[in-house]
Structure formats: structure tokens, C-alpha cells
Amino acid sequence: METIITNLLKTTDVFWNLIYIPGVVLLDIAGPAVKTADIAATALFTANNLWMIISAVLVFIMSLGFASVEAGFGQAKNTVNILFKNTVDTLIGIVSYALIGFAIMYPGDGFNGIFHLGFGLDPGAGYDPATYAGGNYTYWTDFLFQAVFAATCATIVSGAVAERIKISSYFLFTIPFVGLIYPTVGSWKWGGGFLEQMGFYDFAGSTIVHSVGGWGALAGIIVIGARLGKYDNGKVNDKPSSNISLAVIGVFLLWFGWYGFNGGSVLSADPEAISLVSVTTTLAAATGGLGGFLGGYLAFRRLDLGMVLNGILAGLVGITAGADQMGPNEAMIIGTVCGIVVVYSAIFLDKFKLDDVVGAVSVHLTCGILGTLFVGILGKMAGWHQFLIQLSGIAIIGVFAFTFSLLFFYILKKTVGVRVSKEHELEGLDSHEHGIRGYTIVLEK
């Protein structure tokens, strides 16, 4: 891309010399004395920064995708509650990440590799946009991109614990989860910490974002327990979804946003890298959906739309760790495997009476782990040594994220409580906590 811009500007510079008239300003620029290299560098910096902002916007749209999936799969009587949680946890996630999370995740020089407590947004006295992040984007763009990632991580937990968690307890969990747990894990790899030094690889967050969210979701459903009537006499009772159309819309919104999630993780507007990542992302999502189709049919002997949808998300989560390391064939293998595995992961959780409304644990935790391991199995980094490094990183992050998530949920259970009353759960959270319903049918007399 830099070569293209440089050649274009050389041509422009020749044209400028032909039309330049001494003493006359034809355009509001410095004139032919401006070096082509400086103009090229500025143009490249602008292109990189613009792509990162576009990617941040795409990732931000994923919050709407998560809200739609959860509301679609949830029961009609809890729709407003679900949408309220997804809206407010995005707000809390961004603010808490601004106040503390970003400074923890990217501590800069002097970082001990494990933890550094920081506060607020401050680029520093010596801040120079042209040199920050290798001249690819500004400090403020960096924060924006990382903040919407953080908000995405928080939203993963919401779907798993839906329909029975106290909304106040959920928000009290979101603050330390986004402000402390997620950025601490992120600092170990993306902030230059000990996992980065160890050689652990996670391109866009199969483990750092998705499995961390999945560990938080697993801790939540363990502490809170299953919905009333979900498991009776050894039978799994599926609760009626309110709007499957909305769930489909949500999944395709998430797929759309994933082009920013993975494409933005290139951290520049490099055309070859973005193109490859976009292709591997697309193929993994498509084959993930087909894997969910196959797995759902083999398991239930029906054409299960829910499993196809979760298969798409499973493929996306699975490719995220190595989207830049895989070719098309590897991406399709990863997508297919994750799409099939997500079906049996959901069945496995039901056997242990772990009630996950949207399949968040199976999609984000199970397939996040799988995708991270695939970096050591397929692609450019494949090898036994890398596989062991990937496995070690997964284990370390898992122990930390699950332990502290479990601790926070347990503290909330013993203090303010985490579960709504039986009456509220049976009648629906919309009426009791919000005073309105998501779906209201008025019959004319």
C-alpha cells in the first residue's frame, strides 16, 4: 500500500511542478517543496488510522448483535430485561475500561509482566501521534478500538446467565470483570507481559476475549443455578424462544462486526493482511455453520437452526486466534470442527445441569480454547513446541479468569444475592423490574 501511495504522490508532484506559478497559491498546501516521502507517510498514517476507526465501529455493532441473539433466544417475558442488560453493560464496559482497564492492559515501559495498576486516559507528555504504535494510529484510536473489545467481552456473560440473574448483581459483576479481569489477562499478551515473552499467540482474542468471557459465563451459571423447570426428572426442557428471526439477525450482525474484530487486529490498513484475515474469517464462519448443521442433525435428527447459528459463531471464535496464520483450507477445517463440537459441548453442559440460555460457554469458551490450540496444530506456527505454549497459556488464563469470576459471583451471592425471586422468574423480569413488556398484543374490541 505504501508503494502505491508513494507512486501516486510522485505523479502528483510532477503535475504540481508543471502548474506551479511563483507567488500564486493554487491549493492550500505547502507547494512543490514538500517532500513526497512526507506526504506519503501522512497519507499512509491517515489510511491506517481510518481503518482502525472503521474496525472499532464494526466491533461496536457486535453489541447490537449480542443483544439481538440473546433477546431472540430468550423468552418473551424477559425481553426488556435482556435488552436493558446488553445496553447498560456496554456503557459500563466502555466507562470502566476508560477509567482503569486501558491503563492496566497497556502499562507501557516498566511493566513487570504480570500486573500494573493504572488509571484514566493519558497519552503522556511526550506523546507524538506520528510515532505512537509505529505510526499506524493515534493513542485515542487505540483506546476506542480496545474499549469496544472490552465491552464485547462483558456481553458474553449476559447471555449465559439470562432470565434469572438480578440485574443489579449483573452490573456489579461487570465492573471488575471489564475493569480488572479482562485487562489483566490482556496485558499478559497484548500489553507485552509474560505470555508474550513466552511465545503465546492469540491474534484477535479466541482466548483473551472469548474464553475469558466464557470462563466468566461458566462461573455465573454455576453460582446462579439453572432456570426453574429447565431440568426435571432427568429431562432437558427447552424454553420457548421469543423471536428466532431476531436471533438470526443478531448472528449475521456479529459476523459482520467480526470483519472489524479480526480485520482490525491487523493494526494497520495493510491490504494483503486484511484480505487474508477477512477470507479466513469468512470461510471459518461458513463451515462453522455447516458443522453446526451436521452436528445438530446427528445429535437430534432434525434441522436445528439454533445449532447452525451457534455453529457460525463457533467458527468465528475458533478462527480468531490464528486468522492471520491460516490459509483457506485450514480455516475451513477449524470452522467445521468448531461447528460440530459446539453442539456436543451444549449437550455435555446440559448433562451436568449447567443452564446456558444462548450457548455462550460452548461458543466462546469451548471453541475459544479449540481455536487457540489450532494455532499449534495448523498454519504457519504449527508444531509441538507451539502447541504446548498455547496449552499453557490457555490453562493460566483459565485458572485466573474462572477463579476470580467465581469469587466475584460468590461474594455477590452471599451479600446482595444473585438470583431473582421465584415469583419474578415465573412471571417474567420485564413486568417486575422494568414495568413494560418487550412484546405486547392489544386486542381490539
The pLDDT, as a whole number, for residue 34 is: 55
Residue located via cell numbers 423490574: 433
At 435 the three-state DSSP class reads coil
pLDDT-wise least confident of 128-137, 220-229, 262-271: 128-137
The pLDDT, as a whole number, for residue 445 is: 55
* For residue 330, pLDDT beyond 50: yes
* For residue 231, pLDDT beyond 60: yes
The cell for 139 is 493513542
pLDDT-wise least confident of 28-42, 98-112, 320-334: 28-42
Do 355 and 227 touch, CB atoms closer than 8 A?
yes
* For residue 127, pLDDT beyond 50: yes
Q: What is the DSSP string of 6-61?
A: HHHHHHHHHHHHHH--TT--SSSS--TTS-HHHHHHHHHHHHHHHHHHHHHHHHHH
Q: What is the DSSP string of 52-72?
A: HHHHHHHHHHHHHHHHHHHHH
* For residue 18, pLDDT beyond 80: no
Q: Is the dihedral of CA 208, 174, 63, 238 positive or negative?
A: positive
Average pLDDT, the chain: 90
Cα–Cα dist 189/207, whole Å:
11
* For residue 171, pLDDT beyond 90: yes
Report the run of H or E that residue 174 belongs to, with start and end: helix 167-176
CA within 13 Å, CB half, 41: 10
Region class of 134: left (phi > 0), else alpha (psi between -120 and 50), else beta: left
* For residue 260, pLDDT beyond 60: yes
* For residue 206, pLDDT beyond 90: yes
At 255 the three-state DSSP class reads helix
Comparison of pLDDT for 234 and 416, the residue scoring more = 416
The pLDDT confidence band at residue 134, using thresholds 50, 70 and 90, is confident
* For residue 58, pLDDT beyond 70: yes
Comparison of pLDDT for 277 and 119, the residue scoring more = 277
pLDDT-wise least confident of 103-107, 320-324, 373-377, 434-438: 434-438
pLDDT-wise least confident of 33-42, 108-117, 314-323: 33-42
The pLDDT, as a whole number, for residue 290 is: 98
Q: Is the dihedral of CA 350, 412, 88, 138 positive or negative?
A: negative
The pLDDT, as a whole number, for residue 13 is: 45
Q: Across residues 93-122, what is the average pLDDT? A: 91
The pLDDT, as a whole number, for residue 152 is: 86
* For residue 341, pLDDT beyond 60: yes
Q: Across residues 311-334, what is the average pLDDT? A: 98
At 76 the three-state DSSP class reads helix
The pLDDT confidence band at residue 1, using thresholds 50, 70 and 90, is low
| SS3 of 122-137 | CCCCCCCCCCHHHHCC
The pLDDT, as a whole number, for residue 285 is: 98
At 280 the three-state DSSP class reads helix
Q: Is the dihedral of CA 137, 138, 144, 147 positive or negative?
A: positive
pLDDT-wise least confident of 37-51, 181-195, 207-221, 405-419: 37-51
* For residue 338, pLDDT beyond 90: yes
140-160 pLDDT, tens per residue? 999 999 999 998 888 999 999
Q: What's the CATH fold of domain 53-434?
A: Ammonium transporter fold (1.10.3430)
Q: Across residues 327-352, what is the average pLDDT? A: 97
* For residue 79, pLDDT beyond 60: yes
The pLDDT confidence band at residue 12, using thresholds 50, 70 and 90, is very low
The pLDDT confidence band at residue 25, using thresholds 50, 70 and 90, is very low
Rounded to the nearest 10°, the torsion over CA 330, 341, 156, 276 is 10
Cα–Cα dist 195/198, whole Å:
5
* For residue 263, pLDDT beyond 80: yes
Spacing of C-alpha 325 from chain mean position = 19
The pLDDT, as a whole number, for residue 33 is: 46
